[in-house]
Amino acid sequence: MKYISTRGGIEPIEFDQAVMMGLARDGGLLLPETLPSVSPQKLGAWQNLHYKGLALEVLDLFSGDMPRADLEGLVERAYSSFRHPQVTPVRKTGDLYIMELFHGPTLAFKDVALQLLGNLFEYELIKSGGFMNIIGATSGDTGSAAIYGVRGKKGMNIFILHPHGRTSPIQALQMTTVRDANVFNLAMNGTFDDAQAIVKGLFSDLEFKDQYQLGAINSINWARVLAQVVYYVFAFLKLRKQGFDAVDFSVPTGNFGDIFAGYVAKQLLPKDCINRLILATNSNDILTRFVNQGDYSIAGEVTPTFSPSMDIQIASNFERYLYYLHGQNGARVKADMETFAATGRMDLSAFKEQAGNDFAAHSVSEEETIATIRKYSEEHAYLLDPHTAVGVRAAEELKGDRPVVCLATAHPAKFGEAVKKATGNEVELPPALAGLAGKESRCEILDADAALIRKYVETNALKE
């Protein structure tokens, strides 16, 4: 399968190149030249596959010339690290279904993609005999999941930027207590958007990118989005087996990556299998305003919330959806993104009806988030983390006649402060988190200065 840029500036490339590039050479994001589709017959053949088997089938649609046996080995290694045999189990809770995406090494949904991506990177580097320097920004969970995906692997250094003091304490400890020689943590005096802009700037400098063989682990990397497509198909098949022909999903999102994976899954499956994608945001609501009002604009400063992984004003994956809004016209995408970079807004009111057909959206307040955690603890003896609570509250608000699968994006113990505020109780730490506070950590605290970060990477990067 060939891959192209959302901005139309590169010739089609192969899957293995797309995995290693992350960001396209023209500054756009990579997408398949065409999206495959799954026939009802093939979907029926997938009905009883376990998660690893389904992942192999879905990934194989996109992976081009990679030998199937090699892909199968990568999938096996990636998901053998998960604690639940179903990898992403789905459980009925009240009137909703909750898909638990937090059974990986760092107890967050990012593990589903990053355990696979780390193995893909290693596979390609072994083939080429090369090296790479992985650079990423995180608002919380991506950093630790990426670190755990590549820690100790030869031929790779990883540099993770996170906003100093704006992640949960456990999220910070998960990153900074990993002391493998190839791991570099940078806590920045700024926001996630600042960190993300610096990372994108480094990737846009083609000379620097080529010299240091930069690799992307944020959801700007297509392989991350693709890995997340699998669990939407998995959840639909679970409910299909119970007699449901159509399913809605509720997705807490700030960066638009996870819900864009749902959009791809919706195109992949037969018509109406995935009916609605409910986009749930906290008070940092640029995406909700886009869907409901056609307004994609930065509104003041990022507001810190109980769901810090969603404290984002600029959704880096939105450009991929914009490409489809513009009828796959890369020149129009490029013009819109340049306008947004200059003014902080895009007038997309002309697409309000189309966006409303693809998504429903709801913004959830801090009070509603805490109340939802409390409600599910008291009524269902089920603990939600605050991000999942945002998705659950949006599902309650927008639920129709079809079953709704809410994506549970993190273990509640990662956000103990919010859970304690809601329930009055401390969350018991699972073994993966217990004892982190007593471990030695390693982290550099730097200003959100692009030149400063660039110099740090140059000093510590692999060069051969």
In degrees, rounded to 5, the angle at the alpha carbon of residue 155 between the alpha carbons of residues 150 and 159 is: 55
Encoded tokens for 392: 């659950």
Average pLDDT over residues 186-214: 91
User: 271 falls in which pLDDT band (50, 70, 90)?
Assistant: very high
User: 464 falls in which pLDDT band (50, 70, 90)?
Assistant: confident
Q: Which residues contact residue 263 at a Cβ distance below 8 angstroms, ignoring those fewer than 6 apart?
A: 277, 321, 358
**pLDDT reported for residue 434:** 87
What percentage of the chain reaches a pLDDT higher than 70?
A: 100
User: 294 falls in which pLDDT band (50, 70, 90)?
Assistant: very high
94, amino acid identity: G
List C-alpha distances in Å: 241 to 44, 238, 281: 10, 5, 30
What percentage of the chain reaches a pLDDT higher than 90?
A: 81
Residue 218 clears pLDDT 80, i.e. is over it: no
**pLDDT reported for residue 142:** 84
Is the CB of residue 422 less than 8 Å from the CB of residue 377?
A: yes
**pLDDT reported for residue 312:** 87
**pLDDT reported for residue 309:** 85
Other Cβ atoms within 10 Å of 26 Cβ, number: 15
User: 139 falls in which pLDDT band (50, 70, 90)?
Assistant: confident
**pLDDT reported for residue 305:** 93
Is the CB of residue 210 less than 8 Å from the CB of residue 459?
A: no
Is the CB of residue 111 less than 8 Å from the CB of residue 105?
A: yes
**pLDDT reported for residue 293:** 94
Is the CB of residue 280 less than 8 Å from the CB of residue 251?
A: yes
Residue 182 clears pLDDT 80, i.e. is over it: yes
User: 37 falls in which pLDDT band (50, 70, 90)?
Assistant: very high
One-character DSSP codes across 191-246: -HHHHHHHHHHHHH-HHHHHHHTEEE-STTSHHHHHHHHHHHHHHHHHHHTTT-S-
Q: What are phi and psi of 98, to 5 degrees?
A: -115, 125
**pLDDT reported for residue 324:** 97
Average pLDDT over residues 272-290: 96
Residue 99 three-state SS: strand
Is the four-CA dihedral 144, 149, 153, 155 of positive or negative sign? negative
User: 302 falls in which pLDDT band (50, 70, 90)?
Assistant: confident
**pLDDT reported for residue 206:** 87
**pLDDT reported for residue 326:** 97
Mean pLDDT over all residues of the chain? 94
In degrees, rounded to 5, the angle at the alpha carbon of residue 89 between the alpha carbons of residues 86 and 92 is: 145
CA distance 464 to 459: 13
**pLDDT reported for residue 203:** 87
Is the CB of residue 334 less than 8 Å from the CB of residue 28?
A: yes
List C-alpha distances in Å: 18 to 13, 146, 181, 182, 260: 7, 18, 27, 23, 17
First-to-last alpha carbon distance for the chain, in angstroms, is 30
Helix axes 416-423, 366-380, angle to 10 degrees: 70
Residue 359 clears pLDDT 80, i.e. is over it: yes
User: 27 falls in which pLDDT band (50, 70, 90)?
Assistant: confident
Average pLDDT over residues 310-326: 93
For 51-60, how does the pLDDT look when each residue is reduced to its tens digit (9 = 90+)?
A: 999 999 999 9
Average pLDDT over residues 305-323: 92
Average pLDDT over residues 430-435: 86
Annotated catalytic residue: which of 2, 42, 92, 110? 110
pTM of the model as a whole: 0.92
CA distance 37 to 199: 33
Average pLDDT over residues 76-84: 96
For 118-129, how does the pLDDT look when each residue is reduced to its tens digit (9 = 90+)?
A: 999 999 999 999
Residue 337 clears pLDDT 80, i.e. is over it: yes
Residue 383 three-state SS: coil
Residue 65 clears pLDDT 90, i.e. is over it: no
Is the CB of residue 31 less than 8 Å from the CB of residue 324?
A: no
Is the four-CA dihedral 40, 42, 46, 52 of positive or negative sign? negative
Q: What are phi and psi of 83, to 5 degrees?
A: -80, -20
Average pLDDT over residues 425-430: 91
Residue 22 clears pLDDT 80, i.e. is over it: no
User: 437 falls in which pLDDT band (50, 70, 90)?
Assistant: confident
One-character DSSP codes across 25-63: TTS-BEEESS-----HHHHHHHTT--HHHHHHHHHHTT-
| 161, β-bridge pairs | 137, 186
Total residues found in the chain within this entry = 464
Residue 226, judged by CB atoms within 10 A of its CB (0-12, 13-18, 19+), counts as buried
User: 388 falls in which pLDDT band (50, 70, 90)?
Assistant: very high
Residue 455 annotated as catalytic: no
Residue 419 three-state SS: helix
Residue 422 clears pLDDT 90, i.e. is over it: yes
**pLDDT reported for residue 384:** 98
